[in-house]
Structure 1
């Protein structure tokens, strides 16, 4: 099975008023760390190895999860200083022997079938397969534009602030190692801005519009909503 990389080094700055002194993925949701629910969802998808990219107060995560979580073998990839999403993924990729990995955020629950991502990767020449979610208003996130016909190649990213319905980047990817490492030229960089956006014309980024539910606990209102929504999403 393809391994998963989970970005779990977030500080949770916007949640400090309700979740002090914890890495953001360890914020409690229905009595368990949010990351517990993310890991449970990975286990449900058949993933057997997960690489947790950890930084801020990483010992809290390491002490809680240890080396295994159910059927998952847990590895820790440490950021001694913040490397950005791209740097964190690159460091984790260096630990993986295979040529691809699922990548997701440890502070977002995205319900998408990994089999759909694998099928999209297998049916074309994708460098990156990206899960996208349809929202009535994309202003908070920015939008992803892609061809209507298969393989649904991503053609543009629109900046935050533009209102209206559309698709957003749901933060779950099937990432191929070779094309990613081709553009890794520095230790600290943003996966979204410095890789996806900067090299979109050269990359084959294919969209999978199959996200049924999504919740990001990055702001207090959504964190409150997660208390009841997430357990229902990870049944």
Structure 2
């Protein structure tokens, strides 16, 4: 991929810019005019636009950063210092004529994830007690958390992603075929600690969290065991803290096109109009959350209880429930065979 693949015009739609960010996987696009830098747009800029209920059909110019941080070629030796000081993923390099000649990325200079904290010490709860019926007959033999993606079980991939940011304390809720899960991890040499939360009966996506009351005392992550989220986990926690949320839902932007003409009628069944193949954008729940520890007090004891019920409870009480959007391609769901194949393909691990 060449540098010019990251160049866009300010007239490009925000939706098209989002697709280009997904395709390039560089987290930054350069808005150019007459070979001069006009601004940049990142996934963070688009996230803020979405949270402000901005229309994705609008031009990039409305969402871009018009005063981006950049560095001149003669000062490129300071790139690492500036990236670290400003805590940014990438910095454009300009020549004396203000033409963009390069981009320097955080991971090229530091060879690690951009972490807004020294490291994340926050606990991670992985909900791994379900039967995974959508993946039968595989799950008749293996518990869903141990279904391999490449040659690594899905739950281990989830743990590895959190570990990249420093998380080393994991709680895994288990029920179905729990001994197989425990045996797998007990035999592994690992630089992190797994604590098992054993359900005597299925308790839903939140019921087993009550068993952690008094144990988890810090802000914590919760993840389903069949998803992979590509994103800055440290940035998610930072957003959660800065907004004083009780719960933050990690959501994915989903774009849908109805492949038909949609008819609108009035109360007398008279056609008022038609829309040809209308398009819609939604924020959907990925199955990953950030919670405050006092949430554990509001989960009923020994009761089948979904996390969506807890969220509705807080919404009704007027508690602050936030959302952190990620790009559509940053959420991989293994829940069905088709999605599992897509996950394997996107991760590029067929020959791993």
| TM-score bracket, shorter-length normalisation | 0.7 to 0.9
CA shift in 2, pair 1:229/1:90, >3 Å = farther
| 8 A Cα contact 1:105 1:172, kept in partner | yes
Higher relative contact order (CA 8 A, sep 6+): 1
Q: Distance in 2 between matches of 1:230 and 1:42?
A: 17
Q: 1:35-46 to 2 correspondence within 5 Å?
A: 35-46=155-166
| 8 A Cα contact 1:86 1:188, kept in partner | no
Q: Distance in 2 between matches of 1:52 and 1:206?
A: 24
Q: Which residue of 2 aligns with 1:223?
A: 340
Could you give the per-residue CA deviations for residues 13-58 of structure 1, whole angstroms, max 9, x where no partner exists? 1111344321111112112211121111111121011111111001
* Mapped pair 1:16 → 2:136: yes
Structure with greater helix share of residues: 2
1:103 to 204, 209, 222: 222
Could you give the per-residue CA deviations for residues 106-141 of structure 1, whole angstroms, max 9, x where no partner exists? 1111112121222122213211122111011399xx
* Mapped pair 1:85 → 2:205: yes
CA shift in 2, pair 1:21/1:93, >3 Å = farther
* Mapped pair 1:127 → 2:246: yes
Unaligned runs of 5+ in 1: 140-162
Q: Distance in 1 between matches of 2:345 and 2:312?
A: 34
Q: 1:139-154 to 2 correspondence within 5 Å?
A: none
Q: Distance in 1 between matches of 2:348 and 2:157?
A: 8
Q: TM-score, normalised by structure 2?
A: 0.54
| 8 A Cα contact 2:210 2:297, kept in partner | no
CA shift in 2, pair 1:49/1:182, >3 Å = closer
Q: TM-score, normalised by structure 1?
A: 0.79
Q: Distance in 1 between matches of 2:177 and 2:156?
A: 16
| 8 A Cα contact 1:39 1:69, kept in partner | no
Q: Which residue of 2 aligns with 1:66?
A: 186
2:304 to 184, 189, 193: 189
Quote the offset at 1:165 in angstroms. 1.8
Q: Which residue of 2 aligns with 1:156?
A: none
CA shift in 2, pair 1:137/1:45, >3 Å = farther
Larger radius of gyration: 2
Unaligned runs of 5+ in 2: 1-120, 259-278
Quote the offset at 1:12 in angstroms. 1.1
Q: Distance in 2 between matches of 1:195 and 1:92?
A: 15
1:170 to 276, 280, 286: 286
CA shift in 2, pair 1:36/1:188, >3 Å = same
* Mapped pair 1:30 → 2:147: no
